[in-house]
Structure 1
Amino acid sequence: MALFGSKTKLPDTPAAPAPKPEVVQLAPVSTIRAEDRERLDAVRNRTADTLFRAADTFGPADPAALSSDAFRAEVNNAIRQTLQADPQAGFLKAADREWLINDLTAEMCGFGPLEPLLARDDISEIMVNGTGAIHLEIAGSMVQSDIRFRSEDALQRIAKRMVDETGRRVDTSSPICDARLKDGSRINVTLPPIAVDGTILTIRKFRKERLTLEQLVAAGSLSPEAMDVIAVIGRCRLNILISGGTGSGKTTLLNCVSSCIDERERIVTCEDTAELQLQLPHVVRMETRAENAEGTGEITMRQLVRNALRMRPRRIIVGEVRGEEAVDLINAMNTGHSGSMGTVHANDPRLALSRMEALIRTAKGYEAVPSLNIKRDLADSLDVIIQTEQLITGKRVVTHVTDVLRVEGETITTEDLIVYDHARGRHVGKGQLRPSFYRVAERYGLAERLAAALSALNMNAREP
C-alpha cells in the first residue's frame, strides 16, 4: 500500500518547463569592447570611491541645498576632472567617457540606474534584489531587465537617499522602511542582515495620468454595464470594501470609484503611505508615521481614523485595512459616515468578511467579543464588496460585485450581483435586478440605470 494512498502512474511525457521571464534591454548601450569591460568597471568603481570620499570638495552633503541642475553640473565637472587625472582611464573613447560620466552623475545626484525606469510611465513595479538583475512589471507582465547596480554599497546609498528624501530613516537598527517618493511612488526598503542576499528595494509606481472607470472598461477590467453598477454604488454613498490580492488593482479601482462622488463632499483619507489620487476637489490626506530613533512619535492608522472622525468628514477612506483600525472604520460606517471605503487583502468576498472579523479581533477589548456580534456589525456597516484579481495574463479585472445582506444564523449572507466568467472572458449577472440598496438608488434617481445595467449583465449570462 502506498504511503499516501494508491499509486499514481506518472505520465510518460514530462511536463513542459515553466516559462522564464523575458529579458529586456533597457540599460544605455556602451560601445566598450568586451575585453575592456573589466577595465571600465575598475575605472567606474575607483572614480565613484574617490568622489564619495571627497564629496565636500564639490558640493554640500545634501543635494537639496542647491538646485538640481546646479548640483548635477558641479558633480559632472568633478567627475570629468577625476577621470582626466586617472592615467588608467586613457583607453576610454569619447562616447564611453560620456556614458560613464552620465552613469556616475546619476548615482551621485539622483537614483542611479533607476532613473530611466522611474521616468517610464508604462512600468508599474520595480524590484531590486541585491546587485542582481532588476525585475520589472510592464503592462501586467513580469520581465527581467539588463540593468543592475554596480555594488551593494551603491545600492544601499541610493535606497537610503530615497528614504531620506521622504523624512523617514532606514539603517541597521531599523532595517525595514515604507515610504513615498515625491512623484507618489511607494517604496519598501529592506537592508541586510534581514535581506540575506543584499538590499531589497521594491518600488510601486503610479501612473501620472489618473485613470477613470471608462479607461478600465477600455482595458477590459470592466464591462460597460459593470461600470454603470459600480458608478451607481459610488454615487449613492454606499459603504464599500474593495478586496483583492497584492497588485490586483485595488487602489486603482478605489481612485476610479472616487470620480463618482459628489464634488461637494469632504473626504478624509488615511493611509500608511499616501498613494491615493482621488479625483475630487475637497480631499484631506493623512499618513501614518513610524517612531523616531528614540522610539517615540509614532502615529498609527487607528489614530488617524479616530482623528478623521473629528474633522467633519462626509466620507472616510482607509487606503488599506490591515489592523485594529478596522474597528474604527466599521464604527464610522455605522455612525453617519455613509459612503466610506477601504481596501483589504483577501482572495474572494467571503474571505474578505472573515479577514475583517480577524482584524477587528486584533483591537484591544475585542479578543473575546462573540463572533456573532462582530458579524452583525459587519453586516450592518458594509453594503458592497468589490473583488479584484490579476489574471495569469497580467490583466487586472473586477471578478465580483457582491451585495452584503444580513446575518442568518451564524453566517453573513451575501449575494453576487456580478461575476467575471473566466471561461468566456466577460462579466455576467447573477439574476438579481433589485439589490438591497435599490431603494437608496431610487433616492438618488439612479434606480433605472442600476436596473438596466443588471438586466444587460443577466442577459450576458444567458448568451453562449
Structure 2
Amino acid sequence: MVALNQPQSDHRRAFQQLKTRLHRQMVDSIDLSKAGELGPDEFRKQMQALASHLASRSELSDRDRDAMVRELMDEVYGFGPLQELMNDPTVSDVLVNGADTVFVERNGLLERTDVRFADDDHLLNFIQRLVGQAGRRIDEVSPMVDAKLPDGSRLHAVIPPLALRGPTLSIRRFKNRIVQFEDMVRVGTLAPEMADFLVAAVKSRQNIVLSGGTGAGKTTILNNLSRFIPLAERVVTIEETAELQLQQPDVVGLETRVPNVEGKGVISQRDLLRNTLRMRPDRIIVGEARGGEVLEMLQAMNTGHDGSMSTLHANDTRDALHRLELMIALSGAELPTRVARQYIAAAIQLFVHVARLSTGERKVMRISELTGVVDGEFQLEDIYVFRSAGIDERGKLIGSFYATGHEPVALRRMAARGIELDPGLFTARELKTGGEYKPAN
C-alpha cells in the first residue's frame, strides 16, 4: 500500500517500489509466444489490461492507480519514471545521478526534479533495457556505454564498479526541430551580420572549425551551416554517435563502431576518414574531432575537399589551435611544430567559438580568421566578438556583439566564387541583435 500521508519524496519512492513489484508480476505473466500471434497493437492492449488489473488490486487512490497503469506501460514501452521528462519539449538533457537524484536542463540551466526510481536495481534494469534497445550491452565487464536511442537521443551510462554512488545515466534529448539561424538571431545567440558572414563562408567553401564546451551548441550551429551547402554537392558525415541532421539529398552518414565482447571489430573515426576519401565526397563533416583522425581531416581539407567542417572541445579559438596541434601529435606523425602549424593554417580558414554562459544563454563568442603563420606563430584575427558587461537584476547577461574592423582575407576567396559581401559588414562597431532575420539567398 502507498501511504498518502507520507512526505512527497517518500511517497514517490514507495510508489516506485510498488511499481517495480507489479512490473515483475507483469513480466512473469507475459506469454511472449503470443506477441507474434496477436500483433503489436493487440499485444499492447493486453499488456494495458494486465497493468490495469494489477493496479486495481493495490490500495491506491484513483489518481495513483491511473498513474500506476501509465508508468507500468512506460516501463515496458517507454522511459519508465523519466517518460514525463522525455515528453517535455523544454528539457534538453536528463541527468540521473542515482535512484533518488534526477536533474534536467532547461534553457541552459540545471534544475532538480522530484522523479525517483525505486532503488539502484530498478535504475540498473532500466539502463540495461535502454542500452539493449540500442544494440549495446552494459554489465560489470563493460560498465560504461555510449548509445543512440530509437528516438535519436544520445545516451551515456556508467554503472558500478566505475560509478561509486550507483548507476548514472545521461540522456541528451533529440530535437525534432533544428534551431535555425533565424531563431538564433532573434534570441541573441549571434548578430545578423555574423550569420550572413557564416552563410557566405559555407557557400564559398571555407573550411570551418567550431569550438566550445559540452552543450554549448556546436552541433546546432553545424546543422545550421549545413543548410547552405549547395544541393548538388556530395557530403559525407563522420560521427561517434550520429547527431547531425543534414537536409541535402546526397548525404552519406558514417558512424564509428565500438569493440565487441572479445575486444575486436572496433572502427574508429580515423578508419572512417581514410575510407571517406574513396567515396568521392565534395565536403566532409566530422561531428567532433577527438584524436589522431585530425591528421586525415586536415589532409582532406588540403586536397580538394574545401568547405569541410568539424567541431572540437576548446575554451577559445586560440585554444582550439593548440588542441589541433596536440591531436596531430596523437596521430603518431612526428611533425615539427613549425610544419604542423603550417599544415593547420593551410587547411582551416575560420574558427567559430560558442559558449554556454552562467545564465544559461548560448552565445557565439568569437568568429576568427586564421590568416597564416608568421615567425612560427599563428596569425589569428578576430572578425566578430561578444563582450560581456555583467549580469542584470533579472539574471540576464549584459553585453554586445562587435565587429572588430578586420576585413577578412576570405572575402577574396568568396569573390572568386561569385559571392560578394558588403565591406560595411566588417566596419568596427557594435552590432544589434533581435528581430526578424532572413539569410541572404
Asked if Structure 1 and Structure 2 have the same fold, meaning a TM-score greater than 0.5 normalized by the shorter chain, the answer is yes
What is aligned with 1:452? 424
| Partner SS, residue 289 of structure 1 | coil
Work out the CA distance in 2 between the residues paired with 1:397 and 1:40.
38
1:271-327 CA distance string (max 9 Å, x none): 000001123222111111111112111111111111111111000000000011101
Residues 258-280 of structure 1, C-alpha deviations (whole Å, 9 max, x = no match) = 11111111110000000011232
Q: Tell me the equivalent position of 1:443.
A: 416
How far, CA to CA, are the matches of 1:64 and 1:380 in structure 2? 59
Q: 1:190 to 1:418 in 2, by over 3 A?
A: same
Q: Are the counterparts in 1 of residues 385 and 401 from structure 2 also a CA contact under 8 Å? A: yes
How does 1:372-387 map onto structure 2 within 5 Å? Answer: 372-387=338-353
Moved more, 58-67 or 168-177: 58-67
> Which segment is superposed worse, 33-42 or 263-272?
33-42
Hey, what does 2:141 align to over in structure 1?
A: 173
Q: How does 1:423-442 map to 2 (within 5 A)?
A: 423=389, 425-433=399-407, 435-442=408-415
Supply the RMSD in Å over aligned alpha carbons: 2.6
The DSSP-based 3-state class of the residue aligned with 2:233 is coil
Say if 1:58 and 1:78, in contact at 8 Å, map to a contact too.
Answer: no
List aligned pairs for 1:87-98, cutoff 5 A. 89=58, 91-98=59-66
Change (3 A) 1:306 1:37: closer
**Residues 63/400 of structure 1: CA separation in 2 closer, same or farther (3 Å cut):** farther
Structure-2 change in CA distance of 1:69 and 1:198 (3 Å): farther
Equivalent residue in structure 2 for 1:120, among 85, 88, 94: 88
Aligned to 2:29: 57
Change (3 A) 1:438 1:67: farther
Q: Give the aligned partner of residue 27 of structure 1.
A: none
Query: Higher relative contact order at CA 8 Å, sep ≥6: structure 1 or structure 2?
Result: 2
Q: Which amino acid aligns with 1:257?
A: L
Give yes or no for the alignment of 1:75 onto 2:47.
yes
Change (3 A) 1:67 1:130: farther
- What is the 5 A alignment of 1:37-48? 45=17, 48=20
Give the counterpart letter for 2:253 in structure 1. Answer: R
Q: Which amino acid aligns with 1:459?
A: R
Deviations along 1:164-198, one digit per CA (max 9) or x if unpaired, are 11112111111111111122211101111111111
CA contact (8 A) 2:23 2:75 kept: no
Q: What does residue range 193-204 of structure 1 map to in structure 2 within 5 Å?
A: 193-204=161-172
Shift of 1:206: 3.1
Query: Does 2:363 align with 1:397?
Result: yes
Distance 1:171 1:52 in 2: 20
For 1:318-370, what per-residue CA distance to the aligned partner results, in whole angstroms no more than 9, with x for missing partners?
00000111011000000100011100100111110000110111113x1x321
How do 1:351-370 and structure 2 match up within 5 A? Answer: 351-364=319-332, 366=333, 368-370=334-336
Whether the 8 Å CA contact 1:59–1:71 is kept in 2: the answer is no
- For residue 438 of structure 2, what is the aligned residue in structure 1? none
Which TM-score applies when normalising by structure 2?
0.89
Q: Is the 8 A contact 1:229 1:454 kept in 2?
A: no
Q: How many residues align?
A: 423
Counterpart code for 2:144: I
1:266 aligns with 2:238: no
Classify 1:192/1:328 alpha carbon distance in 2 versus 1 (closer, same or farther; 3 Å). Answer: same
* 1:71–1:189 distance in 2 versus 1, CA, 3 Å: farther
Q: Is 2:270 aligned against 1:302?
A: yes
- The change in CA–CA distance for 1:77 and 1:40 in structure 2 (over 3 A counts) is farther
Counterpart in the other structure of 2:114? 146
Task: Note the 1:10-29 alignment, pairs <5 A.
Answer: none
SS of residue in 2 equivalent to 1:447: coil
State the match for 1:26 in structure 2: none
The answer for the alignment partner of 1:160 in structure 2 is: 128
d(CA) in 2 for partners of 1:40, 1:238: 54
SS in 1 for 2:421: helix
In structure 2, runs of 5+ residues without a counterpart are: 390-397, 433-441
Contact 2:91–2:173 at 8 Å: present in 1 too?
A: yes
Closer, same or farther in 2 for the Cα pair 1:419/1:61, shift >3 Å? Answer: farther
Instruction: Report the counterpart of residue 418 of structure 1 in structure 2.
Output: 384
Partner residue in 1 for 2:337: 371
TM-score of the superposed pair, with normalisation by structure 1: 0.85
1:229 aligns with 2:203: no
Q: Which amino acid aligns with 1:385?
A: F
**What are the Cα deviations for residues 36-72 of structure 1, in whole angstroms up to 9, with x where unaligned?**
9979965763563364366253243998998664444
